[in-house]
């Protein structure tokens, strides 16, 4: 939604909060930053999903091994 709101900027600039201050930046720069942030977050999500898959696989392997030991 933020990228859509940037399209409505009348003079081609918008404001970004950095720390405790607000800085005027060109809309195109802000859109680029948003796209980069989104891409980084998507990569982290994929990484966490793969990690979760590996953990689940290892858990199933250990569960099967434990069942074999108990029986």
Do the Cβ atoms of 29 and 16 come closer than 8 Å?
A: no
| Arithmetic mean of pLDDT, 29-34 | 94
Structure tokens at 67: 């069942």
Q: What is the rounded average pLDDT of the residues 24-45? A: 95
The span from the first CA to the last CA of the chain, in angstroms, equals 56
Q: Kindly state the percentage of the chain with pLDDT values over 90.
A: 68
pTM exceeds 0.75 for this model: no
């Amino acid at each position: 939604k933020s990228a859509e709101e940037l399209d409505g900027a009348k003079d081609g600039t918008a404001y970004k909060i950095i720390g405790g201050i607000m800085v005027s930046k060109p809309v195109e720069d802000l859109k680029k930053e948003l796209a980069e942030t989104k891409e980084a977050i998507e990569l982290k999500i994929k990484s966490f999903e793969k990690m979760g898959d590996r953990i689940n696989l290892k858990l199933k392997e250990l569960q099967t091994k434990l069942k074999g030991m108990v029986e």
